[in-house]
Chains A and B, each alone.
Chain A
Amino acid sequence: MSTLPAAPEAAPLRRVAAQRTLWRNAARSFSRNRLAMVGLVIVAVLVLCAAVPFLLAPQPYYKARLVDNLQFPGGRHLFGTDQVGRDLLSRIIYGIRTSLVVGFSVQAIAILIGFPLGAAAGLRGGPLDFVVMRLLEVMTALPNFLFALFLMSILGNGVINVILAVSATAWIDVCRLTRAQFLGLREREFVVAARSYGAGDWRVVFRHLLPHALPSLVVMLALGIPSAIFAEAGLSFLGVGINDPLPSLGKMVSESMSYLSVYWYMGVFPTITIALAMLGFNFVGDGLRDALDPTMYSV
């Protein structure tokens, strides 16, 4: 005759479903991180500039009108014009494209080389690991920038060559990190379990190890993009990077030095853009790290 308490809701089932995928959980965690979302917006704007600069830029980046040179911001030229009358805003938008292309490509190549090497070395150990470790040591001893300079003097100028020259040393950290991660993870119980039911190397790497190594990798890649931007700027400053008229953010900053004390906008705007890019990638990187960290599951 007494009423029984109501049956429990189906909520627990929903909670279990929500935990099913790492990515969905990470996305939720990320979206709650305000700083990371700000970073994402910044990165999205930058990627938009890089993808369709011709839609956003008022003028082509090479269009010079000498009679309009060295104009301060305002009027027809929102950010002013440079020493040969090119619109600074347009050059910044195209410069974002150059810098991001270099940044992403360098990191992509770094993964393509560094990840397999590091994975193989970490997983297999033995002589393969020995060889890879020695290779890492030799490459670490080389000064990165000087090596890129040397490669550029052989390859000649251009965006592709800059990407190759900077990638030549960018894979080292990826390789080392991957190897360290895999070394640590390969003895974990879920790997042992997977092996026990006959999982081969490929399955172990991609199904089990990669998701755990991924967070650190993603963070490293996000933070590596600004470093690639600066490397390209340094090379271009010495005349062995990309050639004028193609703009890149770093090159615009270094070339503005001779104009800065009067024509401040030529340096200030590209610098702010680089700073925003760095902030954006840093926030996204930090957000990803927090979101993907298996020990920080938030429900």
Chain B
Amino acid sequence: MRPRLISLIAIGVLALAGGGIAAADTNAWGVTMPADAAPLDQQFVRLLSTEGTTADFSVSVYKRVGNSYSSIMATPFFRIDKNFELQPVGVTSYESSRDGKTWTFHMDPKVKWSDGNPLTADDVVFTFQYDADPKTAWDFAWFWSDIVNWDAAVAGKVPVTSIGVKKIDTYTVQFTTTVPSPYFLSKALYVRPLSKAAVQKYGDHYNNDPATAVSSSPWILTEWTKGKRMVFGPNTRYTGKLRPYLQNIIIDFGPFESEFNAYQNNEIDMADQYSFTPANIATISADPQLNKEYHPGYGDFRTYYVGFDTLHKPFNDLRVRQAIAKAIDRDTIIKKVVGRQGMAAYSFLMPGFPDANSAALKQEFPNVYDVKAAQKLLADAGYPGGKGFPAQEMWLRNEPALNEAIAEAIASMLKDNLGIDVQVSNKGDPKLFMTALNAHQLPFYFLSYGFDYLDPSNMLGIWVSGGRHAWVNPKFDALMKDATSLSGNKAKRDQEFKDAEKILVDDVGGIFIYHVTPGNIYKPYVKGSELDPDKTGVATWHWPGLEDVGALNSSIYISNDVPSDRHM
């Protein structure tokens, strides 16, 4: 009898203990944590960023904290996952009119703000009118140019109430564009409403103070200590459909130059490659552990290119542009300077971006490195051996060391191969650069562009004449105009974009040098399905990081191999 009683008791104790081990934690939102998750007090992530003046994208894009970490308190219409696919978050359904000019979105009536108010069409309309208001002087106002009356409202010519963003009923919003906009859905990623009630009560920086912050996302501001850090904690009044694991997000304020060192000192859990110097990259490559933590990805499909003023001498001659293109040894630059931070570019759209056609354009005439042919082209244009060619000053827009090195390499190649004198000037003031660029006053420069929304009209659109580039090609313009607003014939639209890009390459509107493959580093104890390989096999800290419009924030958690001395 006794042994059996003892064994029963033993089994009972073991069952309880085993049950205790098996029973997982549930976090602040009642979500059951994964089996390998660390205790709840470790469910936070620490990042480093410069301190901005606002947390909200819809208040300022370029003055946000850290340019991308803090926009986290809205429920946007959509968010984007690691496969760059749109997931509805704040909308339940949507439809467009037959002419492609009207888009109607039905919002999720279950989503409420943390102050108890529902998130409604009023908030969306209010946010757009606020952004169109010349008094706000929103620094991203150019983005919604295609909305009816937007530009006129931004210029102060019509009242903001006349823009093509209308409330149909409490939970239905309608957008009207000036031309058919088949790409509008990708742009709708950027619908991130502010709380109308909070702005009217506390002003547009209501989210700068935990006392007045209002959130419709799982997180809310719990601390903003100027000069030190900001902390987002669980919004326990969240009513939306996301089921996040991570409870706290901490952003320590500091210069980006210190980001890599902070990561090495285990003060932060993720470091953004943009702040890595060439020495940091060399350190990462030489360290097996750091190398494992380095995850290259697509970033924001950024392409670096050499640009010209093609409307004036000497670059108005196609032969001159071709000569310069064919005198640049792209492969050696990638191999010896860019290394793991990029891949060779032969066109503007990076492989992986919709309608990218890099492989087909690789052998186009300007893309083939051929010094003899380049010299002959330059001689035919009237500058044999570079004689008589005006000395050039290649401008850079406040670029870090890597891109300075690339520009220097290009300059030396042009001197060696063509006899052209090129000096390199990295302008510390981006505004100085952009003012000259937009006024078409820059003869020669090295610049980049990354995408805003996943449609070829976004990337290729910056080459349409009248924009930032001093390049005019009527055939290109016509193809772009047609393709951008073409609905109902995807094959034709794709082909038109590809044809347009081929013109851009052949007419040497710019010389495409490399696509950035940024490698963020993050600690091995940061896990989540969004960090697993995407459909192309790439596993990385995808764009846009932890922002409200990314799927990353609700996917990641801290696993139980985290060092126990880690603390908030």
Contact = CB atoms under 8 A, between A and B. Distances in A.
A258 interface: yes
Contacts of A258: 277-279, 400-401
A237 interface: yes
A105 B278 CA distance: 35
Interface in B372-426: 393, 396, 398, 400-401, 404-405, 407-409, 411-412, 415-416, 423-426
Contacts of A245: 408, 411-412, 423-424
Given A246-B423, A258-B400, A259-B401, A64 B282 contact: no
Interface in A154-176: 157
Nearest to B335: A66
A84 B400 CA distance: 15
Contacts of A237: 428
Contacts of A263: 278-279, 282
B454 to A, nearest CB: 32
B424 A261 contact: no
A109 B216 CA distance: 65
A62 B283 contact: no
Size category, B interface: 20 to 34
Contact of B336 (A67, A153, A257, A260): A67
B427 interface: yes
B411 A244 contact: yes
A255 interface: yes
Contacts of A64: 408-409, 412, 416
A157 B425 contact: yes
Nearest to B396: A239
Contacts of A255: 401, 404
A262 B412 contact: no
A239 B282 CA distance: 26
Nearest to B261: A261
A11 B72 CA distance: 93
A67 to B, nearest CB: 6
Interface string B429-467: 100100000000000000000000000000000000000
Contacts of B432: 153
A80 B411 CA distance: 21
Contact of B283 (A66, A86, A246, A261): A261
B332 A67 contact: yes
A69 B412 contact: no
Interface in A84-106: 84-86
Contact of B408 (A67, A84, A238): A84
Contacts of B427: 239-240
A144 interface: no
Contact of B279 (A62, A240, A246, A260): A260
A243 interface: yes
Contacts of B336: 66-67, 69, 85
B333 interface: yes
A273 interface: no
Contacts of A246: 423
Contacts of B425: 157, 239, 243-244
A239 B426 contact: yes
Q: Please classify the interface of chain B as helix (H, G, I), strand (E, B), loop, or mixed, using the class held by over half of its residues.
A: helix
A64 B337 CA distance: 12
Given A84-B409, A84-B412, A263-B279, A243 B424 contact: yes
Interface in A193-247: 237-240, 243-246
Interface in A240-299: 240, 243-246, 255, 257-263
B258 interface: no
A94 to B, nearest CB: 15
B371 to A, nearest CB: 14
B393 A240 contact: no
A87 B426 CA distance: 22
B202 to A, nearest CB: 38
Nearest to A85: B336
Nearest to A63: B412
A84 B277 contact: no
B145 interface: no
B363 interface: no
B266 interface: no
Interface string B264-297: 0000000000000111101100000000000000
Nearest to B332: A66
Nearest to B260: A261
Contacts of B398: 239
A83 interface: yes
B444 to A, nearest CB: 12
B188 to A, nearest CB: 39
Contacts of B401: 83, 255, 258-259
Contacts of B404: 244, 255
Given A153-B432, A157-B425, A238-B428, A262 B409 contact: no
Contacts of B400: 258
A259 B277 contact: yes
Contacts of B280: 261
B405 A262 contact: no
Contact of A157 (B282, B329, B393): B393
A299 to B, nearest CB: 56
Contacts of A84: 337, 405, 408-409, 412
Contact of B405 (A62, A63, A83, A153): A83
Given A83-B405, A259-B401, A66 B428 contact: no
Nearest to A156: B393
27 contacts: A62-B412, A64-B408, A64-B412, A66-B329, A66-B332, A66-B333, A69-B336, A69-B337, A83-B278, A83-B408, A84-B405, A85-B336, A238-B428, A239-B426, A240-B428, A244-B404, A244-B424, A245-B424, A255-B404, A257-B277, A258-B277, A259-B278, A259-B279, A261-B277, A261-B279, A262-B283, A263-B282
Given A66-B337, A83-B405, A243-B393, 11 more contacts: A62-B415, A66-B336, A239-B429, A243-B424, A244-B424, A245-B408, A245-B423, A246-B423, A255-B404, A259-B401, A262-B282
Query: Which 5 pairs across A and B sit closest by C-beta, in order of nearness?
Result: A258-B401, A243-B423, A64-B412, A258-B277, A238-B428
Interface of A: 62-64, 66-67, 69-70, 83-86, 153, 157, 237-240, 243-246, 255, 257-263
